[in-house]
Structure 1
Amino acid sequence: MSWLGRDGLPSQLLADDERWSALRRCLTDDGLDLRVRVAGGLVLLYGQIPTRIVELTTSDLGVDRRGERTLRLRDRPVLLPPALAALTTELTSRPDRRRRGAPSSTTPDWLFPGLRPGAHLDSGRLALLLRTAGIPVRPARGAALVALATDLPAPVLADLLGLSIAAAVRWSALAARDNAEYLAARAEHPPH
């Protein structure tokens, strides 16, 4: 196992300008499959992997106290930027989604329903759709995680995205994050 986890470091991280360009395309290109636009946004902003993305349900979507759309990636909701929030709303309200995999009382209402009733989209199929649209999952995910690790302390990153603390620490090390400020603030203001 490499020091960056089971999958190791992607052979090449997307450069920031490539990442932002791909994200802009996901958020604005009506010619892209809506599933690709939403999933691409989740990979490029939050470093999510296709196996986790396809397991998201409509109950993972929410609204915070200010009325802004959120998505629960693990135990805590993350704020969705307005453009991505609008795309997820569009995705959940598509008429063809009801025909595909209508949930029963025992099956979740998948955000990305598959062709079989009650099943979510296959993660391999989603990864192929993303690659075909020009979004290389591993380099895009790695770039997103490095960007997040630059701004967030490893414990927060782990908690927010559902990473192991060890993986979050490795991404922080790659981003050369210094957690001294965070640790000092936690010592000064411990959680209640």
Structure 2
Amino acid sequence: MTLTAERTGLPTQFITETALSEQLKRCLNDARLPLDIRIAGGLIGLYGLPVVRLVELTTDRFERTGDDAYFTIERIPVLLPPKLALLIEEQIARLAVRSTLRPPQDGRPTYLLPKVPAYRPITAQRIVNKLRQHGLEVISARNTAMFEAVADLPPIVISDLFGVSATSAHRWARFAQDSWTDYLSTCSNDEARSSEGS
């Protein structure tokens, strides 16, 4: 995917949908990757979460109801794919063991991706560095996930789910629409040239 954003504040870095899909497969299936990196990569690739919001997530946002598992992102409970739900459950179980040794103070929440102790969040830069160390894209993967999402969801949902302002969500939607229109126009021109040459 090659897209250029002309409006200030819109993205210029993307990966292909295929590359994003392959990265997600690694995060969800490759047990050689650290657990926290698998979770971070999964949440970025599936929900377009910016890393600064990712590090703020706490374990009390996770809920399982029967066979379904949800994670509340901003104010919306999001249905998780089964593999990502299992990874998050495993992380929460590990943190629970840790917390018996270092109980949280003052009722502070346990972060999903914590420092030690678990009531302190890891820094966004540390997560970015760890993802990159394992060959995982960060900004371009997030941008591609957002681009795919705005094609399917209204801006108000994007705003709530991805933690961006309503204005930013509308600009993303417009950007995606314009880019898709440009793409279709290019395809139509290519087909016309091909017909003329035959």
Q: Provide the TM-score with structure 1 as the length reference.
A: 0.81
Distance in 2, Cα, partners of 1:101 & 1:44: 32
Counting matched residue pairs gives 172
Match of 1:84 in 2: 84
Following superposition, the deviation at residue 102 of structure 1 comes to 3.9
Of 143-152 and 164-173, the range deviating more from structure 2: 164-173
DSSP-derived class of the 2:70 partner: strand
Following superposition, the deviation at residue 76 of structure 1 comes to 1.1
Distance in 2, Cα, partners of 1:161 & 1:101: 32
Q: Note if contact 2:44-2:145 (Cα within 8 Å) is conserved in structure 1.
A: yes
User: What's the C-alpha RMSD, in Å, of the aligned pairs?
Assistant: 2.1
Of 29-38 and 89-98, the range deviating more from structure 2: 89-98
Q: Provide the TM-score with structure 2 as the length reference.
A: 0.79
Match of 1:132 in 2: 133
DSSP-derived class of the 2:90 partner: helix
Match of 1:71 in 2: 71
Following superposition, the deviation at residue 22 of structure 1 comes to 0.1
Match of 1:3 in 2: 7
Following superposition, the deviation at residue 26 of structure 1 comes to 0.1
Following superposition, the deviation at residue 94 of structure 1 comes to 1.5
DSSP-derived class of the 2:120 partner: coil
Distance in 2, Cα, partners of 1:4 & 1:97: 44
Following superposition, the deviation at residue 4 of structure 1 comes to 5.5
Structure 2 residue 94 is the aligned partner of structure 1 residue 94 = yes
Relative to its length, the structure with more helix (as a share) is: 2
What letter is aligned with 1:173? R
Distance in 2, Cα, partners of 1:152 & 1:163: 14
Following superposition, the deviation at residue 99 of structure 1 comes to 7.0
Q: Note if contact 1:150-1:175 (Cα within 8 Å) is conserved in structure 2.
A: yes
Match of 2:56 in 1: 55
Distance in 2, Cα, partners of 1:162 & 1:138: 15
| Bigger radius of gyration | 2
Q: Note if contact 2:155-2:169 (Cα within 8 Å) is conserved in structure 1.
A: yes
Q: Which runs of 5+ in 2 are unaligned?
A: 1-5, 179-198
Distance in 1, Cα, partners of 2:57 & 2:102: 14
**Counterparts in 2 of 1:121-160, with a 5 A limit?**
121-160=122-161
Identical-pair percentage: 34
Following superposition, the deviation at residue 174 of structure 1 comes to 2.2
Following superposition, the deviation at residue 118 of structure 1 comes to 2.7
- Superposed CA deviations along residues 130-156 of structure 1, whole A, max 9, x for unmatched, are 111122211000000001001001112
Following superposition, the deviation at residue 91 of structure 1 comes to 0.8
Q: Which runs of 5+ in 1 are unaligned?
A: 178-192
What letter is aligned with 1:107? R
Distance in 1, Cα, partners of 2:74 & 2:24: 22
Of 162-171 and 20-29, the range deviating more from structure 2: 162-171
- Superposed CA deviations along residues 70-104 of structure 1, whole A, max 9, x for unmatched, are 11110111111001001000111116643786423
Q: Note if contact 1:61-1:70 (Cα within 8 Å) is conserved in structure 2.
A: yes
What letter is aligned with 2:80? L
